[in-house]
Amino acid sequence: MSDLAKAVAQEVAKRRTFAIISHPDAGKTTITEKVLLHGQKLQKAGTVKGKKSGQHAKSDWMEMEKERGISVTTSVMQFPYHEQLVNLLDTPGHEDFSEDTYRTLTAVDSCLMVIDAAKGVEDRTIKLMEVTRLRDTPILTFMNKLDRDIRDPLDLLDEVEDVLKIMCAPVSWPIGSGKEFKGVYHLLRDETILYKSGQGHRIQEMDVIKGLDNPELDERLGYYADELRDQIDLVKGASNEFDLEMFLAGELTPVFFGTALGNFGVDHMLDGLIEWAPTPLSRETDTGSAVEASNPDFSGFVFKIQANMDPRHRDRVAFMRIVSGKYEKGMKMKHVRIGKEVRIADALTFLAGDREHVEEAYPGDIIGLHNHGTIQIGDTFTSGESFKFSGIPNFAPEMFRRIRLRDPLKQKQLLKGLVQLSEEGAVQVFRPLVSNDLIVGAVGVLQFDVVVHRLKSEYNVDAIYENIQVATARWVYSDDAKKLDDFRRKTEHNLALDGGDNLTYIAPTMANLGLTQERYPDIKFDHTREH
């Protein structure tokens, strides 16, 4: 093995790249904060975000987020945990950003599902789990807010199994909840870990009692000791044991109980992540074979573009997941879609939200490339080969508005802003072939607000929306150039170019789309476009 191959293999073994999925308010931000505390990247938890105190997550970049207290962007945080290096990708919590979330989930190798144990499985969690099922991503589960009165833990597990169709293997088990929350019993370590309230801001010295028969348990827990013994008997009989293979296949989830706010149990989850979650996985390509992380030749794909992350820099950053090999500062790589070799001298890494220049990075890491308009979502970079990573789609928008300027002199600025925002995948823009209209398409209604807000703050244009009769859009292709030409001439009034100059059919009604598809059987109408 070459030295490079050895170094890559070693670094791959260290890394875990994951994202948190949850329903808004389940505690994703608080867990992120505690995870970073364990990673010793924040001196004191509580500095990430306080919706009420007016402080904001390091991961919350934009004004919109401050105003609404929601996380619009995806951010990336890297931190060490024991001997390992963890990459945590933040996903937007609001349902209107599902496309963004989908693409972020293509860049991770496992997910943590956070559930509010007082509420159980909520809609947003169901949707996000559907997305993770597409790639059978391994899932860890954290039942949060044990310092409140929660639902019966066995019922919670049943609900996860029934609704989310994934088997549960409890790894820790709660003792009481709310004011009576005493701690958890760790089934695999055979240890009871006692909870102390009011310690959430720091890494605690844990009070651990080994063994269930230990008389100390009775001394410390009184009545709860026997109850715990009975419960653990029941739980062992009624639930699944942890099974690594089934976890890796996405069929079974280890379940942890705790309180993010009290910083209790988060470390058990992190220990599980380090021990069981996959090291950086291979990714499929258009050649039909996958690229393994251990391959020493560099490769990666862009899953996210973010404009103007830092208002002082007014830049755009393309987030690349490294799939194989090693990134070194100043290296040359091939930008496959445009067939050019580029030198990357100043990639960014995201150490707990601080942007720092990296000297080197490895599979599973996310690096940020400064983008001057040439990089698009889905782009592949290699050390010279011409394959393309697959599976990073754009979805056809479902809502449309015409966008118009208050000041018509700024048309150029408007177009520039819209094209850049569409490169990011924040929204899609369509320019009809036969008019000067600009049509904005979105997957959810909040995206429209985000776009107007960002056009104003980042491009200094005042835009307003008008309603427009559009039901859906489809990307159109044909292998037969003549037939495509004919189609183009006859349906010109319904055709537009998207932000990447791809031909799209803009259907005023679903019936119209159906009829057009019947009339032109040689034309393909695609609901998703692979970048």
Least distance to ligand GDP, CB of residue 24, Å: 5
Residue 50: other Cβ atoms inside 10 A = 15
Residue 430: other Cβ atoms inside 10 A = 23
Least distance to ligand GDP, CB of residue 338, Å: 38
Q: Per CB under 6 A, which of residues 77..96 are in contact with ligand GDP? A: 93
144 binds ligand GDP (CB under 6 A): yes
22 is in an annotated binding site: yes
Output 178 or 211, the one with its CB closest to ligand GDP: 178
Return all residues near 428 (Cβ < 8 A) that are at least 6 apart.
394, 397, 422, 440, 441, 442, 473, 498, 499
Residues 60 and 71: beta-carbon distance below 8 Å? yes
Residues 187 and 193: beta-carbon distance below 8 Å? no
Output 93 or 393, the one with its CB closest to ligand GDP: 93
Q: Which two tokens stand for residue 215?
A: 């008389």
Q: Among 7, 9, 25, 402, which residue sits at the site for ligand GDP (rule: CB under 6 A)?
A: 25
Least distance to ligand GDP, CB of residue 90, Å: 9
Size of the site for ligand GDP (CB under 6 A): 17
Listing from the earlier edge strand, what are the strands of the sheet with 463-466? 463-466, 399-405, 439-442, 428-432, 495-498, 503-507, 472-477, 524-526
Which residues pair with residue 284 across a beta bridge?
Answer: 290
Helix-strand-coil split of the chain, %, nearest 5: 30, 30, 40
Residues 495 and 506: beta-carbon distance below 8 Å? yes
186 is in an annotated binding site: no
Give one DSSP letter per residue of 418-457, joined into a string.
HHHHHHTTS-EEEEETTS---EEEESSTHHHHHHHHHHHH
28 binds ligand GDP (CB under 6 A): yes
Query: Which of 174, 171, 196, 175 has its CA nearest to residue 186?
Result: 171
Q: Among 30, 132, 239, 349, which residue sits at the site for ligand GDP (rule: CB under 6 A)?
A: 30
Output 261 or 427, the one with its CB closest to ligand GDP: 261
Least distance to ligand GDP, CB of residue 135, Å: 23
91 is in an annotated binding site: yes
Q: Among 27, 153, 183, 368, which residue sits at the site for ligand GDP (rule: CB under 6 A)?
A: 27
Q: Per CB under 6 A, which of residues 145..174 are in contact with ligand GDP? A: 145, 147-148
What is the contact mask toward ligand GDP in residues 229 to 268, using x (rule: CB under 6 A)? ------------------------------xxxx------
177 binds ligand GDP (CB under 6 A): no
Output 261 or 503, the one with its CB closest to ligand GDP: 261
Q: Which backbone phi and psi does 247 adopt, to 5 degrees? A: -60, -45
Residues flagged as binding site: 22-29, 90-94, 144-147
Residues flagged as binding site for GTP: 22-29, 90-94, 144-147
Residues in touch with ligand GDP (CB under 6 A): 22, 24-30, 93, 144-145, 147-148, 259-262
